Amino acid sequence: MGGAGVTETGGGRGCTGDGPDPYAEAAAVARAGLVREITAGGGLTDPRWRGAFEAVPRHLFVPYYYEAGVAGGKGGAGLTTRLWRDDRNPLRRARWLAGAYADAPLATRVRDGELISSSSQPSLMARMLEALRVRDGDRVLEIGAGSGYNAALLAHRLGDGRVTTVDLDPEITEAARRHLAAAGFRPAVVTGDGARGCLARAPYDRIIATCAVPSVPPAWLEQCRPGALMLMPLATGLVLLRVRGARHAEGRFLTTPAYFVPLRGSGTPGPVSAHGLPSWPLLDESFRFLLHVAAGRLEPVEVLALWEHEGRPGRERYGVTVRGERQWAWLDDAEGPYAWPLGAERT
């Protein structure tokens, strides 16, 4: 994991930049179109979140990003085309702005061929934020600052002083600070190990992670108020946990598939074996999810037998429990016959 040093900014609402935004008018039109698209797909049912997406200018958070080029390699190796706000070519600038308001994830930072930061698909962000069920006055910790866009949406909804975003990489947090300031937001931006949370600004009512974790970091539970909610990507899904105490949380997965960059320092997950499997179940999202959940605990053919025996269960039938030093994923019942330890117990 990363070091213990912390750098923080925060304070009142402000706006910085190099002058008037030349893209403001066109961006407003594109942003309205994006909100209509997300709403038509069943998202943004809460008018307060819809207002946040209508107001926060995503293009200020992605001054450049990478498009997929020639496929090959792993991580960010196929991301060969950079679209840039200040490109001299007006057609490429138009492509950049259109992409900034497409309902698609954007690769924003690649290092040594590895994708290390991105701006998530807006419709997925909307589903996650609505699932978090924030209330006026809640204090929220975001793990994974990314471009700063998600923190801006939270700050629009709750106010700057109630939002903290953490990332291990100082280049990422510095860029997020600049983007947030340009958009007129100043939540606390902390450089530190996301797995350790941010004790200095605890306790929190909500924690949302925008990076995948192999298990629930204990510090997150310890920094939450009883009754808090934590939403995090795990095993290609999104699990929403209710915190019962500093050492106890439980909840279920959402129906939504989710593929995120791993939490920095948690290690890159190895490939999930499909040895001995026919090709047809690998085309089913619900089977691939169980294959990830039970990886290292069941052989792939055993996973297939269980999946078929239990009626090809969807993500909503699975959950996670944290109790003291133990944490495990389960199907249907936390105390039932189908359970798989998370974290160190899996190895």
User: Which residues have a catalytic role annotated?
Assistant: 117
Which residue, among 261, 250, 245, has the nearest Cα to 203 in the 3D structure?
245
User: C-alpha distances in angstroms, 310 versus 238, 280, 304, 318?
Assistant: 21, 17, 10, 12
Name beta bridge partners: 238. Answer: 233
Q: Which of 127, 196, 129 is nearest to 167 (CA)?
A: 196
Give CA–CA dist 304/296, Å, rounded.
14
Q: Is the dihedral of CA 200, 232, 342, 247 positive or negative?
A: positive
CA 177 distance to own-chain centroid = 18
Q: Are 183 and 60 in contact (CB under 8 A)?
A: yes
111, two tokens: 């290092």
